[in-house]
Amino acid sequence: MGAWNKLKLLILISTTTVSLAFAASNSSMPLISESGTTYQTKFAQLESSVNGRLGIMAINTANNQQLEYRGNELFPFCSTGKVMVVGAILKASESNPQLMLRQLHYSKQDTESSGYAPISGQHIKDGMSVSALSQAAIAYSDNGAMNQLLQLLGGPQAVTSYARSMGDDKFNLVRSEPQLNSAIPGDIRDTTTPTAMAASLQKLVLESSLMLPQQQLLQQWLKGNTTGDKRIRAGVPQGWIVGDKTGTGDYGTTNDIAVIWPPHAKPIVIVIYFTQDKKDAKPQDEVIAKASKIVINEITR
pLDDT given for residue 134 in this prediction:
99
Q: Are 81 and 190 in contact (CB under 8 A)?
A: yes
Q: Are 173 and 200 in contact (CB under 8 A)?
A: no
pLDDT given for residue 26 in this prediction:
37
* 92-120 average pLDDT score: 98
pLDDT given for residue 295 in this prediction:
98
* Active-site annotation holds for 131: no
Q: Which residue has the higher pLDDT, 121 or 300?
A: 121
d(CA 8, CA 163): 53
Phi, then psi, of 199 in degrees rounded to 5: -65, -45
Which of the following is catalytic: 79, 93, 141, 176? 79
Torsion 199-247-182-132 (CA) sign: negative
pLDDT given for residue 38 in this prediction:
86
* 110-134 average pLDDT score: 99
* pLDDT at residue 19 is higher than 60: no
* pLDDT at residue 47 is higher than 80: yes
At residue 37 the predicted structure's pLDDT band, cuts being 50, 70 and 90, is low
pLDDT tens for residues 3-13?
A: 434 433 333 33
pLDDT given for residue 250 in this prediction:
99
* 31-47 average pLDDT score: 74
* 143-172 average pLDDT score: 99
Domains of the chain: 40-45+52-300 (3.40.710.10)
Q: ω into residue 118 within 30 of 0, thus cis? A: no
Helix or strand run (H / E) with residue 256: strand 254-261
Q: What is the overall mean pLDDT for the chain?
A: 91
Residues contacting residue 79 through CB under 8 Å, at least 6 positions apart: 141, 143, 146, 177, 181, 245, 246, 247, 248, 255
pLDDT given for residue 269 in this prediction:
99
At residue 141 the predicted structure's pLDDT band, cuts being 50, 70 and 90, is very high
pLDDT tens for residues 245-267?
A: 999 999 999 999 999 999 999 99
* pLDDT at residue 36 is higher than 60: no
Helix or strand run (H / E) with residue 199: helix 194-205
- Provide the whole-model pTM: 0.88
